Structure 1
Amino acid sequence: MTTSIVLEDVTKTFKLRYHRTIKQVSFAKMRGQETSSVFKAVDEVSFKVEQGEAIGLMGLNGSGKSTLLKMISGVMKPDAGQVLTRGRIAGLIATGAGFHPQLTGRENLYLNAAILGMSERETNRKFDEIVEFAGLGHRLDTQVGHYSSGQNARLGFAIAVHVDSDIFLADEALAVGDKPFKRKCLAKMREIRESGRTIFYVSHAAGQVRRMCDRVIVLQDGRLAFDGGVEEGIHFLHYDGDDEEELADEETGDDI
């Protein structure tokens, strides 16, 4: 098999500042108080992903999942270690990322598609498919600043899933939106998976991970805590009693 993603001792460090103004910092120093601290959002994480694997990246809030995904996508660079990827990367790191609130949905579609690496010709060719998937109707020519979070999710996901790629990244892609749209997204994710692309999916929803992934990686405080089977990973996190809505039961018998 072809290796798709390799992480070797990847570390990302951030600096937390406790005060906003120079005056506050000066007073804090006069009192002998700390004005900042450093923490490792991702701490010496290593693993390999083969082409075509569907990975569920899980962990509690603040465990470093989104930071890790941003380094895989190339949005961030590690402070130590290395991230190696093979092929074109696409996906949804943050719903509506790259959208300009004063531009219309149509204008943002072209802008966001360009950010994700699509040429204007490719966007023109897929325009009708993207619009139909988003289901925004006449609101496509309304400023995105007037969209709801669900409408932002519709447009952002619709663009991302129509980018031709070898690796598809999704950070809580199905966390926003109504049930019919979530079912449509699950079906599209299944198509992506069956096409042989590598999927890296960040989610707290055990049911969605069960349906979409064949391997789970768990982060705890920025460190790799688990790497293995889906059920074992969910059990490791004590997510066995996940009470999310079981979207698969509402589908027409299809299962991922």
Structure 2
Amino acid sequence: MTNAIRLRNVNLHYASVAFRERSLKSLFATWFSQSRTKRDLTDIHALKDITVHVKQGERIGLLGHNGAGKSSFLKMVAGLYPISSGSRDVRGTIRSMLDLSLGFEPDATGRENILYRGLLLGLSPRAMRSMEAEIVEFADLGEFIDYPLKTYSVGMQVRLAFAISTSVGGDILLLDEVVGAGDARFMGKARARIMNLVEQSEIMILASHDLTTLRQLCQRGLVLADGHIVLDAPIERAIEFYEEKFSK
């Protein structure tokens, strides 16, 4: 099967409560609460009439200001957000490194969160147990792996989430500037692992504000604004357009 992504006239709405909640437990509790307010049910029109075809071998860069729709685009492709209308056809298994904090439970230990995160990524408990030792070694958290996540620093949480997400296989790599904390040694390991993932992937989509990285890793650029794709072009032209229209 040839890996590909085909989106036709895709629209994405989601409730504002889903945008605010940070853990699965709190999100489900709010959804099923009898005391939800009308404000909780307000829809956000995050993506508007998105049509794009990504072929096997392509490296795509997403450009746009915060709120333009880059993260929503990636989560929609990953299947985390169901589309409201249009068609979404994704052929190939997905490895997503998006919101690293999503699915973490602060009262559970790091080791327990490995299981929770794996379930969110669609893996079985047995599969996660088989990968646990490698994940623990890469995260290098020492005895803290058996401490509640709420005792972790931000950098420690990022290390654990990164170790989990990059241990899961897939043909389509989705990246959203995930590595922003950690000591120098870990950052070195993380960059090396990301480059290896990029080389192994059949399709890559990277959302980033780092134009140098986009030039290095991508051949094609999608510029988003207010949920629309306003330009689909070779990466250099996409960067020039973004700088002209949105960087002043």
Counterpart of 2:161 in structure 1 is: 156
Instruction: Please list every run of 5 or more consecutive structure 1 residues that lacks an aligned counterpart in the other structure.
Output: 18-24, 26-35, 243-256
Shift of 1:39: 5.8
Aligned length: 225
- Report if the CA contact (8 A) 1:52-1:193 is conserved: no
- Report if the CA contact (8 A) 2:173-2:198 is conserved: no
| Corresponding letter in the other structure for 1:145 | K
2:130 counterpart of 1:125: yes
Secondary structure in 2 matching 1:82: strand
For residues 130 and 44 of structure 1, what CA distance do their matches in structure 2 show? Answer: 39
For residues 229 and 181 of structure 1, what CA distance do their matches in structure 2 show? Answer: 33
If the length of structure 2 is used for normalisation, what is the TM-score?
0.80
For residues 44 and 104 of structure 2, what CA distance do their matches in structure 1 show? Answer: 30
Which structure is larger by alpha-carbon Rg, 1 or 2? 1
Over 3 Å counting, the alpha-carbon distance change for 1:130 and 1:37 in structure 2 is: closer
- Report if the CA contact (8 A) 1:51-1:196 is conserved: no
- Report if the CA contact (8 A) 1:15-1:39 is conserved: yes
Counterpart of 1:10 in structure 2 is: 10
For residues 98 and 13 of structure 1, what CA distance do their matches in structure 2 show? Answer: 21
Shift of 1:232: 2.1
The equivalent position to 1:233 in structure 2, one of 231, 234, 238, is 238
Counterpart of 2:61 in structure 1 is: 56
| Corresponding letter in the other structure for 1:233 | A
For residues 180 and 217 of structure 1, what CA distance do their matches in structure 2 show? Answer: 33
Counterpart of 1:221 in structure 2 is: 226
Secondary structure in 2 matching 1:70: helix
- Report if the CA contact (8 A) 1:149-1:176 is conserved: yes
Counterpart of 1:96 in structure 2 is: 101
| Corresponding letter in the other structure for 1:83 | R
- Report if the CA contact (8 A) 2:12-2:47 is conserved: yes
- Report if the CA contact (8 A) 2:2-2:92 is conserved: no
For residues 210 and 183 of structure 1, what CA distance do their matches in structure 2 show? Answer: 20
If the length of structure 1 is used for normalisation, what is the TM-score?
0.77
Shift of 1:207: 2.3
- Report if the CA contact (8 A) 1:3-1:48 is conserved: no
Q: Please state which structure has a larger fraction of its residues in helix.
A: 2
Shift of 1:77: 1.6
Shift of 1:178: 4.0
Counterpart of 1:206 in structure 2 is: 211
- Report if the CA contact (8 A) 1:4-1:85 is conserved: yes
Counterpart of 1:105 in structure 2 is: 110
| Corresponding letter in the other structure for 1:9 | N
Instruction: Please list every run of 5 or more consecutive structure 2 residues that lacks an aligned counterpart in the other structure.
Output: 18-37
Aligned-residue RMSD, C-alpha: 2.8
Over 3 Å counting, the alpha-carbon distance change for 1:132 and 1:101 in structure 2 is: same
Give the % identical residues. 36
Counterpart of 1:188 in structure 2 is: 193
